[in-house]
Amino acid sequence: MAEELLRIDDLHTSFFLEDSVVRAVEGVTFSVRRGEALGLVGESGCGKSVTALSMLRLVQEPGRVLRGRVTFSGRDLLTLPESAMRRVRGGEIAMIFQEPKAALNPVFTIEFQIQEMLRVHTALSKADRRRRTVELLDKVGIAEPAQRMKDYPHQLSGGQAQRVMTAMALSCRPKLLVADEPTTALDVTVQARIMRLFRQLQEEIEFAFVLITHDIALCAQAADRIAVMYAGVIVEIAATRELIRNPLHPYTRGLLDSLPGRTARRELRSIPGTVPDPAAKPPGCFFSSRCPLAEARCRDELPEMREIAPDHWVRCVRV
């Protein structure tokens, strides 16, 4: 088993509004091993993106990380001085945000934005930064990179913008890449090309990869392990093949049953009910109101994560 690169322990992040407290992340614990691809999957609003932002100390007011540890290469990122944390962001941990066109600055060329990353995090000369920019754009599949790097973000298609964001993220050869919904708003064929690109680059550069998505089918294609998140907590985590073949948490089963073509039935099976309000979560298991297996004790206390099989963890009293 590979060495742990990143470990998140008991992470809690809340947003303090005028009339309520939104408990976005509650006791999240998981690890990422060197060189692996981990999928973090769950419905919109379950806390996936907030977990990533908390890890990088990018949560904005009125949000606040309340407690927990984020250990990366032996350092707790939550206690690092801000000057040291700025060197980690982009240099050792890179993040690709949702909506690549919105993440790119519309008033600067692609060349300027990639070279700015290299200027901040490396000691390369201006000429070397330019050569590196061309190499990066070529590596991520941008045709005629020496010409296209003069373009502005509005001149790019959605797939091209995602490739440029990938080039920027990998410009400093990070140890860990976090991609937040990297295929949102892309058509299916472009999605497949982008995911193949990530896997190819991961093999070449040997970085660890966290894929944040609501699409468990995408995780099944791209990740070595999958962590399933619901209402701010991890409910199941296992190797991809194990989780797909033997889902133990009722929410994981519900996600898989909602996939087209998984069974011979023609009608898709949806998960009944709705995700609880993060500002008014019920006691006990947060999934209990939607769970077909729920019993009285499920509504009293939030279950602990338990290792049911080697490296297969689940948060459910019925397993």
Share above pLDDT 70 across residues of the chain, in percent, rounded to a whole number: 97
**pLDDT digit string (tens) for 217-259?**
889 888 999 999 999 999 999 999 999 999 999 999 999 988 8
Residue 50 CB partners (closer than 8 Å, separation 6+): 13, 24, 25, 59, 63
CA distances (Å), origin 310, targets 74, 208, 210, 252, 307: 25, 22, 21, 18, 7
**What is the identity of the amino acid at 46?**
C
* Of the options 2.130.10.10, 3.50.50.60, 3.40.50.300, 3.40.50.360, the CATH number for the domain spanning 4-92+176-185+211-314: 3.40.50.300
Separation CA 98–CA 92 (nearest Å): 20
Burial 190-203 (b: 16+ CB within 10 A, else e): bbeebbebbeebbe
Per-residue pLDDT tens over the stretch 164-210: 999 998 888 899 999 998 887 677 887 888 888 888 888 888 899 99
3-state secondary structure of 154: helix
Q: What is the pLDDT of residue 51?
A: 97
**Tokens 């990122």 sit on residue:** 77
Identify the pLDDT of residue 262.
61
Q: Is the pLDDT of residue 264 over 70?
A: no
DSSP string over 85-128 = HHHHBTTTEEEE-SSHHHHS-TTS-HHHHHHHHHHHH----HHH
Q: Summarize the confidence of residues 272-299 as an average pLDDT.
A: 91
Quick check: 297 pLDDT over 80? Answer: yes
The predicted model scores a pTM of 0.91
* Strand partners of residue 233: 230
Q: Which helix (H) or strand (E) holds 216?
A: helix 216-222
Percent over 90 (pLDDT), the chain: 66
CA distance 96 to 207: 14
pLDDT of residue 34: 93
Mean pLDDT confidence for 28-42: 95
Task: Name the pairing type of β-strands 93-96 and 176-180.
Answer: parallel
